[in-house]
Amino acid sequence: MAAKDQPNKLPPGVDMLDMPAGIDKDRFEEVLKIKEQANDKYRAGDYFSAKCLYSGCLEMLERCCLHLDRADEVWEGVKNNMALCDLKRQEWGKAVETTTEILARNPKNTKALYRRGVARIGQSKLRDAREDLEVVVEIEPENIDARQKLVEVLRQLKADRAADKNQADKMRGFLRGERLEDTVAISEDGGVRKLHGNENAPLFASWIKREWLQPKSGFAGVVTAHIILRTTDGKEVFNTRKPPGALSQQFVGPAAATQPKPAERPAEPARWVVDDSTASVFSAWNAAAKTLQLHELGQFEVTRYTMGPSVEPAVQRCLTKWMLDNVASQEMYKDVPESVKSSAFRKQALQILGLPEEFCAEEEKEPNGTLKMEMELLEADEYMDLDGEGRQLIRIFREGKKKSPDVPAVDDYSTVAVHFRISKLLLNYALKDTRTKEPVEFVVGEEAAAGEGDFVPPCIGECLMLPPGGAVEGMHFEVVLRDGVPVRYMDKHMYNAYADGKYTGLPDTTGPVSIKIEVEKVVSATAGPSHASWQAVEHLVAERKRADELETLDEGRHRQMALKRFHRVVVWLEQVLDRRKWKLQHGGASDSMYDLEWEDEKKTESSNANSKFQFDAHPRVSSGPSDKIEPELFEPDDELLKQLQPEELCEWARAHSGCARILGVTPGKQDLSRKHARCAVQACTLGQIPADVEISCRSTLAERLSDVGKSAEALEVLKVAQALDPKRIDLKDQAAILTQKDNDIKSVSTREALISLKKDVNDSLEANDVAGLQMLMAEIDGLPLTWDVASETAIGKEVGKCAKHADEGVSTTAKGIISKLHKLAKAERPMWVR
* Mean pLDDT of the 422-430 span: 89
List of residues 6+ apart from 396 with CB closer than 8 A: 467, 475, 476, 477
- Residue 169: the pLDDT is 56
Count other C-beta atoms under 10 Å from residue 97's C-beta. Answer: 14
Q: How far apart are CA 741 and CA 711, in angstroms?
A: 6
Between 6 and 361, the more confident residue is 361
The answer on pLDDT for 607 being more than 70 is no
Q: How far apart are CA 690 and CA 819, in angstroms?
A: 49
Question: E strands, 262-312, where?
Answer: 270-273, 297-303
Q: How far apart are CA 178 and CA 184, in angstroms?
A: 14
Share of the chain above pLDDT 70, in %: 83
List of residues 6+ apart from 87 with CB closer than 8 A: 95, 115, 118, 119, 122
Q: Quick one: which H or E segment has residue 746?
A: helix 729-767
Mean pLDDT, rounded, of the chain: 81
* Mean pLDDT of the 292-298 span: 88
Helix, strand or coil, per DSSP, at residue 393: strand
* Mean pLDDT of the 639-663 span: 93
- Residue 23: the pLDDT is 55
Q: Is 587 exposed, middle or buried (0-12, 13-18, 19+ CB in 10 A)?
A: exposed
Contact at 8 Å (CB) between 750 and 783? yes
Q: Does the CA dihedral 107-108-113-115 come out positive or negative?
A: negative
Least confident of 49-53, 64-68, 651-655, 707-711: 64-68
Contact at 8 Å (CB) between 60 and 31? yes
794 alpha carbon, distance to own chain's centre: 67
Q: Does the CA dihedral 22-24-29-33 come out positive or negative?
A: positive
Share of the chain above pLDDT 90, in %: 30
Single-letter amino acid, residue 180 = L
Q: What is the pLDDT confidence band of residue 304, given thresholds at 50, 70 and 90?
A: very high
DSSP for 325-388, please give it.
--HHHHHHTTTS-HHHHHHHHHHHHHHHHT--HHHHSS--S-TT-EEEEEEEEEEEEEEEESSS
The answer on pLDDT for 15 being more than 60 is no
**CA atoms within a 13 Å half-sphere pointing along the CA-CB vector of 341:** 15
List of residues 6+ apart from 141 with CB closer than 8 A: none
- Residue 261: the pLDDT is 55
The answer on pLDDT for 768 being more than 90 is no
- Residue 382: the pLDDT is 93
* Mean pLDDT of the 124-146 span: 90
- Residue 614: the pLDDT is 32
**pLDDT per position as a tens digit, 732-752:** 888 888 887 767 666 667 777
- Residue 243: the pLDDT is 81
Q: How far apart are CA 167 and CA 612, in angstroms?
A: 93
**Shortest CA distance to 345 belongs to which of 489, 513, 337?**
337
Between 626 and 780, the more confident residue is 780
DSSP for 127-176, please give it.
HHHHHHHHHHHHH-TT-HHHHHHHHHHHHHHHHHHHHHHHHHHHHHHHHT
Contact at 8 Å (CB) between 253 and 315? no
DSSP for 218-274, please give it.
SEEEEEEEEEEEE-TTS-EEEETTS-TTTTS----TTHHHHSPPPP------EEEET
Pairing verdict, β 476-481 and 440-443: unpaired
The answer on pLDDT for 85 being more than 70 is yes
Q: Is 111 exposed, middle or buried (0-12, 13-18, 19+ CB in 10 A)?
A: buried
Q: 222: which strand partners? A: 273, 381
Q: What is the pLDDT confidence band of residue 374, given thresholds at 50, 70 and 90?
A: very high
Q: How far apart are CA 87 and CA 145, in angstroms?
A: 15
**pLDDT per position as a tens digit, 323-367:** 877 777 777 778 888 888 888 888 999 999 989 888 888 888 888
- Residue 24: the pLDDT is 65
* Mean pLDDT of the 174-188 span: 60
- Please list, residue by residue across 138-176, b when 16 or more beta carbons sit within 10 angstroms of its beta carbon and e when fewer do: eebeebebbeebbeebeeeeeeeeeeeeeeeeebeebee
Q: What is the pLDDT confidence band of residue 69, given thresholds at 50, 70 and 90?
A: low
Q: What is the pLDDT confidence band of residue 547, given thresholds at 50, 70 and 90?
A: very high
- Please list, residue by residue across 502-525, b when 16 or more beta carbons sit within 10 angstroms of its beta carbon and e when fewer do: eeebbbbbbbbbbbbbbbbebeeb
- Residue 202: the pLDDT is 59
* Mean pLDDT of the 543-561 span: 89
The answer on pLDDT for 677 being more than 80 is yes
The answer on pLDDT for 833 being more than 50 is no
Between 663 and 213, the more confident residue is 663
- Residue 67: the pLDDT is 65
Q: What is the pLDDT confidence band of residue 586, given thresholds at 50, 70 and 90?
A: low
- Residue 73: the pLDDT is 84
The answer on pLDDT for 592 being more than 70 is no
- Residue 393: the pLDDT is 94
Task: State the chain's maximal CA–CA distance in angstroms.
Answer: 139
- Residue 395: the pLDDT is 94
Q: What is the pLDDT confidence band of residue 462, given thresholds at 50, 70 and 90?
A: very high
Q: Is 509 left (phi over 0), alpha (psi -120 to 50) or beta?
A: beta
- Residue 769: the pLDDT is 86
- Residue 248: the pLDDT is 59
Q: How far apart are CA 743 and CA 810, in angstroms?
A: 29
Least confident of 69-73, 769-773, 797-801: 69-73
The answer on pLDDT for 616 being more than 80 is no
675 alpha carbon, distance to own chain's centre: 31
Q: How far apart are CA 282 and CA 656, in angstroms?
A: 56
**Shortest CA distance to 540 belongs to which of 410, 656, 666, 695?**
656
The answer on pLDDT for 512 being more than 90 is yes
Q: What is the pLDDT confidence band of residue 684, given thresholds at 50, 70 and 90?
A: very high
The answer on pLDDT for 56 being more than 90 is no
Count other C-beta atoms under 10 Å from residue 311's C-beta. Answer: 25
- Residue 536: the pLDDT is 84
Contact at 8 Å (CB) between 202 and 253? no
**CA atoms within a 13 Å half-sphere pointing along the CA-CB vector of 278:** 16
- Residue 173: the pLDDT is 47
* Mean pLDDT of the 156-181 span: 61
Tell me the pTM: 0.64
- Residue 230: the pLDDT is 92
Helix, strand or coil, per DSSP, at residue 481: strand
The answer on pLDDT for 246 being more than 70 is no
**Shortest CA distance to 2 belongs to which of 88, 125, 121?**
88
Q: What is the pLDDT confidence band of residue 827, given thresholds at 50, 70 and 90?
A: confident
Look up residue 597 and give its DSSP letter: P
Q: Quick one: which H or E segment has residue 415?
A: strand 415-424
List of residues 6+ apart from 588 with CB closer than 8 A: none
What phi and psi, each to the nearest 5 degrees, are found at residue 94? -65, -40
Residues across the chain:
834
Q: How far apart are CA 357 and CA 351, in angstroms?
A: 8
Between 498 and 175, the more confident residue is 498
Least confident of 39-43, 140-144, 591-595: 591-595
